[in-house]
A and B are shown apart, each in its own frame.
Chain A
Amino acid sequence: MRGASATFRRRLDPVLPWIVPVSAIAVWQLLGGLGLLSNRIMPTPVQVADAAVRLTLSGELLHSLAVSTWRAATGFLIGGSIGFLFGLMNGVVRLAERLTDSSIQMIRNVPHLAMIPLVIVWFGIGDGGKVFLVALGVLFPIYLNTLHGIRSVDPGLIEMGRVYGLGRGQLYRRVILPGAMPSILVGLRYALGIMWLTLIVAETISSRDGIGYLAMNAREFFQLDVVVLCILLYALLGKLSDLMAKRLERSWLKWHPHFGRPSANSPSA
C-alpha cells in the first residue's frame, strides 16, 4: 500500500507546478465564456490562442520574438561580461576596487530606466538603445554577486591551496572561482529577470519592432487579445531563461548538496 502511494506521489510530482496555472486558465475561460468577464476588458484564453495562431501565420510573432530575444541576449552578454570582469578584478585587486567600486555603486543607484529619454536622444529608437539599457541593467547584479562571491570564499580553503603549493593562477581557477560560482549564478538569475523587464519597458516606450512594440501597437487598435498574448509571452520567456539558469546551476554546482543529485555512491547512512 505504502509503496503504491509513494509511486503515485512520484508520478504526480512533475505535474504539481502546472496545477495552479492550468486551473487559473480554466477559470478564466469559464468566466469569459459565461459573459461574467467582458471581452472588452479581458479576452478569453481561446481568443488569445486565436491571436497567437493568426500572428504566427503572418510571421509577425516570430519576427518580434527574434528581434526581442536578440536584443536581450546581446545586452545581457555585453553587460554581464563587463559586470563579471569588474567583479573579478575588484575582488582580486585591492587597488582596482578602491578606484572603481564607489563609482560603480553610485551609477548602480541611478534607476537605469530613468535614462530612457537620454538613450532615445543618443541612440534613436533602434536596437542600440535597447541593448545599452539591458546591458546597463544586467551589469550591476552580476558585478555585485561576483564581487561578493569572491569575497566570501572560505579563507581556509585559500590557505590550504597555498600550503599545497597552488600558484596564483591555479588558486583562482581551482579554488576562488568555483567558490564564488554559487553567488555568481544567483546574480545571473537575478540579471535575467532584469534583462526582460528592461527590454519590455524600453520596447514599449520607444520602438519600431519587438514584442513590446507589438503590444503597444495592438493597444492603439484595441486588440486586447494581442496585448494579453504579449504579456503571456513575457511570462514564458522569463520562465525559459530561468530554466536555463537552473540548468546551469545543476551542471556547475553539481557538487553542492542543494543543486546536485546524489552521485552514484550516495551516502550509505
Chain B
Amino acid sequence: MASAFRQAKREFPVRVIDGSLAEQSWSDAETGGTPDDAGQERTGDDIRSGATTDGAHRDAIQPDAEAGGANRDAVRSDAEADAIHHAVRPDTTDGAIRAAVRPVARGIALDLHRIEKRFAGGPAVLNGLDLSVRAGEFVAVVGRSGCGKSTLLRLIAGLEAPSGGVILRDGRPAAGLDPSIRVMFQDSRLLPWQTVEQNVMLGAHGLGRKEAAAKAREALRLVGLEERARDWPSVLSGGQKQRVALARALIGNPRLLLLDEPLGALDALTRIGMQRLIERLWLRQGFTALLVTHDVSEAVALADRVILIERGAVALDLAVTLARPRVKDAGFAHFEKRILDRVLEPDDREAGEPPAEWTYEI
C-alpha cells in the first residue's frame, strides 16, 4: 500500500506555469526527473502566479475529510485564469514516448458554487455542490446510480438551470447553451437520416458548407472513419457510432467537452480503444473534459482528478497522479482501490437497508 503510494507519487506528471521555461525542464522531468527535481526547477514566476500553492494542493492526495472542495477557492482570480498553462505529457506514437506541449489555456475553467438542483416535487438531487475545474483539466465524476452526476453534467452544459448556486465558466456566470461546449451522450444520437459526414458537419454548422465538409473529413480521419463518410449511421457498429459522435463533438474545436457515460454501452475492447482515442484527442486539442462514468477503472485511466458525488455533494476529490499513457500497474490499482473503497463505504442514510439490496454503479 505504502509503496504503491510512493510509486504513484513518483509518476506525478509535472505541471508548471510559464511556457518559456517549460519545454526544457519538462522533457527532463518526463525522461526521469523526480517530483523533487521538478519542484526545484520551479522559478519565482510560478510562485507569483500561484502555481506553487495550486501545485502543492494537487500533489497531495486529499484525505477524505477534506472532501467537498471546501479548501478550494470557489472563484479563481482572473490573473490565474489568464495565465498560460503548459503541461507536458508523454504522447506515445509508434511506441516511442515523446514530450508534447499542450496548450491548456484553450479549455474552459469551471467554478461551481453551492449548486442545488431539485426537480418539481422531488428531493434535492444536488445539494450544495462545490467544484472547480481548471482549464484543460480532465475530471471524471463517479458515483452510485442516481447520485446526480448526470444532472451535474446537464447543468454545466446549460441544458438545465440549477435551482440554486452559481456556475461560472471562465469566471463568468453561465447562461444557457454555449457553442464552445459540446456534449457526448451515452447513445450516439446521430441523426439516422443524415450520412455520417452530414452528422459530423452538424457540429460545425455556422461555417460555410465547403469549409464544414472539409473539417468533417478531417474530424472523421482523426477518429479513423474517413471511408465511412457516405454511409448511413444505421450500418455502423456501436463503437463506430460513438466515434462519429466524438468527431461531431470535436469538429467545432470545443473548449469544454462533457462526456455522459459515452462508453457505457460498448464492449470492453471497444471501450479501451475509445478511451485511448479520447485521451489522445484531449491531449492534442487542449479542451477541458468532464467525464461522467460508473466505471472507476475508466475514471482512473483518463482523469487528472476523480470526483465522487454522494448525497448531492462532492464526497471525494482525488488527484490521479499517474503518468500518461496509463498502464494498469500497482499505482493504477492503488487509485482504483481508494475510490472503490470510498464508493462502497456504507453510508449512514442507507444503513438500515439490508446490504443484499444495495446496488452500486461502479
Q: A residues near B, CB below 8 A? A: 154, 156-157, 159-166, 170, 174-175, 178-179, 181, 253-257, 260, 262-267, 269
Contact = CB atoms under 8 A, between A and B. Distances in A.
Given A165-B205, A265-B228, A174 B157 contact: no
Interface in B169-209: 177, 179, 181-183, 185, 187, 189, 191-195, 202-203, 205-206
Interface of B: 157, 159, 177, 179, 181-183, 185, 187, 189, 191-195, 202-203, 205-206, 227-228, 230-237, 248
B205 A164 contact: yes
Nearest to B236: A267
A156 B189 contact: yes
B191 A174 contact: yes
Tell me whether chain B's interface is mostly helix, strand or loop, or mixed: loop
A266 B235 contact: yes
Given A165-B206, A256-B192, A263 B159 contact: no
Nearest to A258: B234
29 contacts: A156-B187, A159-B159, A160-B183, A160-B189, A161-B202, A162-B159, A163-B159, A163-B177, A163-B183, A164-B182, A165-B205, A165-B206, A166-B202, A174-B191, A174-B194, A179-B193, A181-B193, A254-B232, A255-B193, A255-B232, A256-B234, A257-B235, A260-B232, A262-B235, A263-B232, A263-B235, A265-B235, A266-B235, A267-B236
B141 to A, nearest CB: 18
A69 B179 CA distance: 52
A253 B203 CA distance: 23
Contacts of B202: 161, 164, 166, 174
Contacts of A255: 192-195, 232-234
B205 A178 contact: no
Nearest to B204: A164
Contacts of B193: 178-179, 181, 253, 255-256
Given A157-B191, A166-B205, 16 more contacts: A154-B189, A159-B189, A161-B202, A163-B157, A163-B181, A163-B182, A164-B202, A165-B177, A165-B206, A174-B191, A174-B202, A255-B233, A256-B193, A265-B230, A267-B235, A269-B237
Contacts of B233: 255
B156 to A, nearest CB: 12
Say whether chain A's binding surface is mostly helix, strand, loop, or mixed. Answer: loop
B234 A164 contact: no
B235 to A, nearest CB: 5
B229 to A, nearest CB: 9
Contacts of B248: 164
A154 B203 CA distance: 19
B235 A175 contact: no
A260 B230 CA distance: 14
A170 B206 CA distance: 12
A7 B110 CA distance: 64
B185 A156 contact: yes
A12 B360 CA distance: 57
Contact of A263 (B181, B191, B230): B230
Nearest to B188: A160
A255 B231 CA distance: 9
Contacts of B185: 156, 160
Contacts of A159: 159, 189
Contact of B189 (A157, A178, A263): A157
| Top 9 A-B residue pairs of the complex, sorted by shortest distance between their CB atoms | A160-B189, A178-B193, A255-B193, A267-B235, A255-B232, A257-B234, A163-B183, A165-B179, A265-B231
The residue among A260, A263, A269 with the most chain B CB atoms within 10 A of its own CB is: A263
Contacts of A170: 205
A162 to B, nearest CB: 6
Contacts of B187: 156
A71 to B, nearest CB: 34
Contacts of B230: 263-265
Contacts of A265: 227-228, 230-231, 235
Contacts of A256: 192-193, 234
Contacts of B234: 255-257
Nearest to A178: B193
A200 B181 CA distance: 59
A152 to B, nearest CB: 13
Contacts of B231: 263, 265
Contacts of B232: 254-255, 257, 260, 263
**Central interface residue in B179, B203, B228, B235, by most chain A CB within 10 Å:** B235
A267 to B, nearest CB: 5
A215 B192 CA distance: 47
A262 B194 CA distance: 14
Nearest to B176: A162
B315 to A, nearest CB: 28
Contacts of B181: 163
A178 B191 contact: yes
Nearest to A260: B232
Contacts of A174: 191, 194, 202
A262 B228 CA distance: 13
A156 B202 CA distance: 15
A256 B189 CA distance: 15
Nearest to A179: B193
Contacts of B235: 257, 262-263, 265-267
A262 B189 CA distance: 21
Contacts of B179: 165
B39 to A, nearest CB: 42
